[in-house]
Amino acid sequence: MQSTEFWPFVLYTGIVLALVAAILGLSYILGQRHRERATGEPFESGVVPVGFARLRFSAKFYLVAVLFVIFDMEAVFIFAWAVAFRETGWIGYGGALAFIAILVVALIYEWRVGALDWQPQGRKKRTSRGL
């Protein structure tokens, strides 16, 4: 790559960095500084906060978030396959079927391990098998 093709990127990067530095510098110079007690407190729409804001969440919330991201990315791959369906032919179709089969196996595994169960083990509903 020649330097004549690269200089617009360098110029753009320099302008962006200079603009960011100018904005941060001006906000530091022109900005107000408050030392009141209420400055460091969170603003909750005019309601005085009570208690501690950092609550502990169950790991299930994070597990659901991770599963969502994983299956969402898999949906992106399936969409990309659908867009290129005509170009990939039967080989692409077989690859997509294998991919979907792996997804189904992973979903069944997560279901059996209990990753999708939200109720504690003692509170699960009784099944129709006489339990």
pTM over 0.85: no
For position 13, what pLDDT does the model report?
Answer: 96
Give 26's pLDDT tier (boundaries 50, 70, 90): very high
Q: Which residue has the higher pLDDT, 63 or 131?
A: 63
Helix (H) or strand (E) holding 29: helix 3-30
Number of continuous H segments (helices) and E segments (strands) in the chain: 3, 0
Which residue's entry shows tokens 């069944």? 108
User: For residues 58 and 53, what is the distance between their CA atoms, to the nearest angstrom?
Assistant: 16
Domain ranges of the chain: 2-45+56-113
The average pLDDT across 110-121 equals 77
For position 16, what pLDDT does the model report?
Answer: 97
Output b/e per residue, 2-15; b: 16+ Cβ within 10 A: eeeeeeeeeeeeee
Beta-carbon contacts of residue 102 (< 8 Å; ≥ 6 apart): none
> 2-45+56-113 is classed in which CATH architecture?
Up-down Bundle (1.20)
